[in-house]
Amino acid sequence: MSPVRSATTVVIGAGHAGLAMSRCLTDRSIDHVVLERGEVANSWRTERWDSLRLLTPNWQSRLPGFGYQGDDPDGFRTMPEVIDFIDRYAEAISAPVQTNTKVTSVRRTDTGYEVATDQGDWQCRTVVLATGACNIARVPAVAEGVPAAIDMLTPLQYRVPDQLAEGGVMVVGASATGTQLAQEIHLSGRPVTVSVGEHVRVPRVYRGRDIKWWMDVAGVMDERYDEIDDINRARRVPSLQLTGSDDRATLDLNALTGIGVKLIGRIAGVNDGMAQFSGSLRNMSALADLKMIRLLDTIDEWAAENGVDGEVEPVERFAPTEVDVDPPLGMDLASGEINTILWATGFRPDFSWLDVPVFDRKGMVRHDGGVVDSPGMYLMGMQFLRRRKSSLIDGAGDDARDLSDHLTAYLDG
Amino acid sequence: MSTSESTVDNGVNVAALLDAREALSNAPEAAQFTWRASCEWKNGTHTRSTVEGFFGLGEEQQHKSTFTIDADHPEVFASEDLAATPVEIVLVGLASCLTAGVAAVAQHRDIQLRSVKATIEGGMDIQGILGIDSDVRNGFDGIKVHYEIDADATDDEIKAVVAQSQKRSAVYDIVTNPTNVTVEVN
């Protein structure tokens, strides 16, 4: 049995968030180790589909002491490029990463925490949870009623369209994952029907600039968790309908119906092999259209106030989402119309190894802007952890700076 | 079975209903009905809805009088509790539709009813409507209807009447199956 090692801080997870924290801890001379179950950027290596590209432009991946150096600032990284970027960051900051070390439990002790791994145990005063927000695919309970003849999978299992059976595919979910996979699968010759619930529609490019640029400069991405009306709601907002492609095309529902994808309402139930869909498709689309207009209004106001109107293209508004007058409310799953259901219904983190009573009744870690409800424990990389950008690569830096300051003050007592 | 010779009388004119069914089978366009209500905000959560006309049998129809139905929310919702809540009115709609169906089906099957009493309840986790938990639906998580029926029939005959009533009920269909809803403003 290996001896128990110790560090002032154990960071769990060597993705962009854990590495940003490592850099900030180094800057503050706090000795630490970064434990990684696989290789650096493990989730990016092993849990993404092949064609995925980052949804934020190259310039926007800004980490403490590191950023984009290439000649295509407005492009979107492929997965190998993302992995390379994070790998190079780990090297550049000389992060003390211990790879292939799977954390099996974290327990509270008198002096801090005991972190058990399959490569021996660690004692620490403080611990940073940076294992990501998307470890487990959420699948709604209605999936249990789907007949066995239908193949079902989640985005974590999906790699390429050709792994799917021939024939129709129902993609459940119309956020970033659902819309991208619906497009790719439909273009592979498998007719796609998308079951559409709440979603967030945005244009990829607005007035000649990337929507992410606008949201960044207008301060939308920097809105803080303690400054907005309903943080619980903000943390549940679905991801933006975006794709990162060379032609910088918008991927909203109109783009999908334009290539022949069918839209139906939110899946409400499966009874005796009949899938039932909510009659709320129109309202879901209208809500997203109205919300997009509010975002564009915010951008236009910012542009006018900050004198950039002359540097960008004129104000524009987009056609409303087109929805059938009477979309189908039911589908016989035995009819052969679809052979596969892909549940693009969101993700949740996996904290099954965290043996500290910090969970709310929904199984999420209780925290105040990343300061977990257990002394000396910190959380990174969750949706709207401290800012709207917290779950992005670009959000890790500010959160790591804030939380490493808090951690330093905690150590100083 | 001939209802004209029957002594059973549940107050339902089954002969007229059967005549209507035959007539509408030959003129399906006359079977196209549109039901209407208007709803006006009074104050707080108090509303007053009015039902007077509908379209059917190819022309505008009028109720014999104008009916009004108030709705409000109870004091535990910080409302004034001036009337039943909308969800209770939905339950009323289901129970009254099913019970009317019980009477009609029993008449058609020559079963004399002496008393029919339905109790209905719908469970609801209000974390949904309050936006506390997005996994919780806004609507009922289930509806239970219980019938106490005293009639000249066996228990199984009575159960069959209740089952047939559900099969032919408009409101039962409305609450058990999705419906496309279109809401416009101005």
Q: Which of B22, B29, B37 is nearest to B56 (CA)?
A: B29
Q: Which of residues 153-182 of B touch A (CB under 8 A)?
A: 177-182
- Give the type of residue at A23: R
Structure confidence at residue B22 as a pLDDT band (50, 70, 90): confident
Structure confidence at residue A233 as a pLDDT band (50, 70, 90): confident
Nearest CA distance, B102 vs chain A (angstrom): 26
Q: How many residues does chain B have?
A: 186
pLDDT score for A317: 96
The answer to whether the CB atoms of A276 and B179 lie below 8 A apart is no
Over residues B35-44, the mean pLDDT reads 97
pLDDT digits (tens, 9 = 90+) for A165-178: 999 999 999 999 99
Q: Could you give the number of structural domains in chain A? A: 2
Over residues A156-165, the mean pLDDT reads 98
The DSSP bridge partners found for residue B149 are: B116
Res B165 pLDDT > 70: yes
Among A230, A278, A362, the residue with its CB nearest the CB of B178 is A278
Nearest CA distance, A364 vs chain B (angstrom): 12
Whether A330 and A296 map to the same domain: the answer is yes
Q: Which of residues 337-396 of A touch B (CB under 8 A)?
A: 362
User: What is the pTM assigned to this prediction?
Assistant: 0.89
Q: Taking CB atoms and an 8 Å cutoff, what residues of chain A touch B131?
A: 230, 233
Structure confidence at residue A68 as a pLDDT band (50, 70, 90): very high
Report residue A265 as tokens.
Answer: 């309402």
Let me know if A143 is exposed, middle or buried by CB neighbors in 10 A (0-12, 13-18, 19+).
middle
Q: Taking CB atoms and an 8 Å cutoff, what residues of chain B touch A280?
A: 181
pLDDT digits (tens, 9 = 90+) for A239-284: 999 999 999 999 999 999 999 999 999 999 998 899 999 988 998 9
Whether A252 and A108 map to the same domain: the answer is no
Q: What is the DSSP string of chain B?
A: --GGG-----S--HHHHHHHHHHHHH-GGGG--B---EEEEEETTEEEEEEEEEEETTEEEEEEEEEEEEE---GGGTS---S--HHHHHHHHHHHHHHHHHHHHHHHTT--EEEEEEEEEEE--TTTTTTS-TTS-SS-SEEEEEEEEEESS-HHHHHHHHHHHHHT-HHHHHHHS---------
Nearest CA distance, B131 vs chain A (angstrom): 8
- What CATH number should be reported for the domain holding residue A94? 3.50.50.60
- The phi, psi pair for A312, rounded to 5°, reads -120, 170
- The phi, psi pair for A271, rounded to 5°, reads -125, 120
Of A343, A368, A383, the domain-final residue = A343
Report residue B131 as tokens.
Answer: 């936006």
Whether A374 and A303 map to the same domain: the answer is no
Q: How far apart are CA A176 and CA A192, in angstroms?
A: 16
Res B44 pLDDT > 50: yes
ipTM > 0.95 (yes/no): no
Nearest CA distance, B140 vs chain A (angstrom): 13
Contact between A112 and A126 (Cβ < 8 Å): yes
Let me know if B50 is exposed, middle or buried by CB neighbors in 10 A (0-12, 13-18, 19+).
middle
Whether A142 and A226 map to the same domain: the answer is yes
Whether A282 and A213 map to the same domain: the answer is yes
Domains in chain B (CATH in brackets) are 11-83 (3.30.300.20), 85-176 (3.30.300.20)
Q: Which of residues 320-339 of A touch B (CB under 8 A)?
A: 326-327, 329-330
pLDDT score for A1: 55
User: What is the longest distance spanned by two Cα atoms in chain B?
Assistant: 60
B65 lies within 8 A of chain A by CB:
no
Whether A115 and A33 map to the same domain: the answer is yes
pLDDT score for B7: 82
Res A360 pLDDT > 90: yes
pLDDT score for B1: 43
The DSSP bridge partners found for residue B145 are: B120
Whether A14 and A72 map to the same domain: the answer is yes
The answer to whether the CB atoms of B181 and A230 lie below 8 A apart is no
Closest residue in B to A274 (Cα) is: B177
Among B131, B135, B182, the residue with its CB nearest the CB of A282 is B182
Res B16 pLDDT > 90: no
Q: Mean pLDDT in chain A?
A: 96
Domain that holds residue A269: 138-343
Tokens 């049998």 correspond to B57
Whether A109 and A44 map to the same domain: the answer is yes
Q: Which residues contact A58 (CB under 8 A, 6 or more apart)?
A: A68, A70, A72, A73, A74, A75, A76, A77
Q: Which of residues 281-300 of A touch B (CB under 8 A)?
A: 281-283
A272 SS3 class:
coil
pLDDT digits (tens, 9 = 90+) for A73-117: 999 999 999 999 999 999 999 999 999 999 999 999 999 999 999
Whether A130 and A258 map to the same domain: the answer is no
Whether A249 and A152 map to the same domain: the answer is yes
Q: How far apart are CA B172 and CA B15, in angstroms?
A: 24
Over residues A192-208, the mean pLDDT reads 97
Whether A367 and A318 map to the same domain: the answer is no
Q: What percent of chain A has pLDDT over 90?
A: 95
Tokens 């100083």 correspond to A412
pLDDT digits (tens, 9 = 90+) for A9-60: 999 999 999 999 999 999 999 999 999 999 999 999 999 999 999 999 999 9
Whether A208 and A300 map to the same domain: the answer is yes
Q: How far apart are CA A402 and CA A75, in angstroms?
A: 29
Structure confidence at residue B24 as a pLDDT band (50, 70, 90): confident
Q: Taking CB atoms and an 8 Å cutoff, what residues of chain B touch A276?
A: 177-178
Q: Taking CB atoms and an 8 Å cutoff, what residues of chain A touch B134?
A: 236
Q: Which residues contact A374 (CB under 8 A, 6 or more apart)?
A: A108, A356, A357, A358
Q: Kindly state the helix (H) or strand (E) to which residue A88 belongs, with its residue range.
A: helix A79-92
Q: Which residues contact A240 (CB under 8 A, 6 or more apart)?
A: A55, A175, A176, A200, A202, A211
Q: What percent of chain A has pLDDT over 70?
A: 100
Q: Which residues contact B58 (CB under 8 A, 6 or more apart)?
A: B29, B30
Of A311, A343, A375, the domain-final residue = A343
Q: Which residues contact B112 (CB under 8 A, 6 or more apart)?
A: B7, B8, B9, B10, B106, B151, B152
